[in-house]
Amino acid sequence: MKRTALAAAGLGAALLLTGCSNDSGGSSESTTSSGTWTTPAAPTVDMSKYGALPAVAAPAAPTVDCSYPAAGQAAKPVQAPNGTGVSTEGTVPVAMTTNDGPIGLTLDRTKAPCTVNSFVSLAQQGYFDNTPCHRISTSPGLEMLQCGDPSGRGTGGPGYQYANEYPTNAYAPSDPALRKPVVYPRGTVAMANAGADTNGGQFFLVFADSVLAPNYTVFGTISEEGLTTLEKIASAGVEGSTAPGDGAPTNPVTIEAAKVG
């Protein structure tokens, strides 16, 4: 099953973040009177129309127990993490190296202890090493790089799944605000999913303010050096697109290693 995320773009259009589309999210090409082709400037999104992520609640206890039930065949053999007594305190540094440069992450246990616990376990088992980042979106309103599927198809997971955390758990399940887009700020690390509580190994790195419903677990931030790397990747564009789009990166991106600490 493909990991998905929805974003509201300039006029409320939905952008689909999945595994293998090359749809352009920006304006189409048009001709001038001379008959030559030009690409219009990308539309902008007024972020002031959208709310911010909710405040992060203080943890109720210094540890929690997490559940990681089996779900499908693993794209790369790994063990599910230990879910007992998972810390809700502090941060975890992760140094990712890619063929385009370093991407440093700081994972936040207070926001998403079960997600951080899973990501750290996968990184320590080498799950992310030598794997592709299969999708990039450069469309205004959704600017991110998606990684974490060793198969490179956008369908692969680690063989288990787990529940959403922040910001989803800041709302009551019946709260209509769960369907209203908010701004996921530049520098956010969040989980891709295939619906509520289907988190696995795929994650996305936000390199410009993006608009999403609060259904995608936020679990960390990206270093400034990492944002520079992401902007370099984005500048190469989307495969087969001459305008801002959503698909595979023009220049293939590989996570060479992800090291904790």
The domains located in the chain, with CATH, are 6-10+63-260 (2.40.100.10)
Residues near 32 by Cβ (< 8 Å), separated by ≥ 6?
A: 38
Contacts for 20 with CB less than 8 Å, ≥ 6 apart: 134, 153, 154, 247, 248
Tell me how far the alpha carbon of residue 13 is from its chain's centroid: 19
Say which amino acid occupies 87: S
Question: Looking at residue 22, what is its pLDDT?
Answer: 32
Note the pLDDT of residue 70: 98
* pTM assigned to the model: 0.87
pLDDT the model gives residue 4:
55
The number of residues in the chain equals: 261
Nearest of 234, 224, 240, 222 to residue 100 by alpha carbon: 234
- As a whole number of angstroms, the distance between CA 194 and CA 216 comes to 10
Q: What is the pLDDT along the chain (261 residues), one digit of tens a residue?
A: 565 544 443 323 333 334 333 332 332 333 333 333 344 456 789 999 999 999 999 999 999 999 999 999 999 999 999 999 999 999 999 999 999 999 999 999 999 999 999 999 999 999 999 999 999 999 999 999 999 999 999 999 999 999 999 999 999 999 999 999 999 999 999 999 999 999 999 999 999 999 999 999 999 999 999 999 999 999 999 998 888 999 999 999 999 999 999
Three-state DSSP state, 65? coil
For the chain, first and last CA: distance in Å?
32
SS3 content of the chain, % helix, strand, coil (to 5): 15, 35, 55
Q: Please give the distance of CA 235 from its chain centroid, rounded to a whole number.
A: 18
Residue 242 has a pLDDT of 84
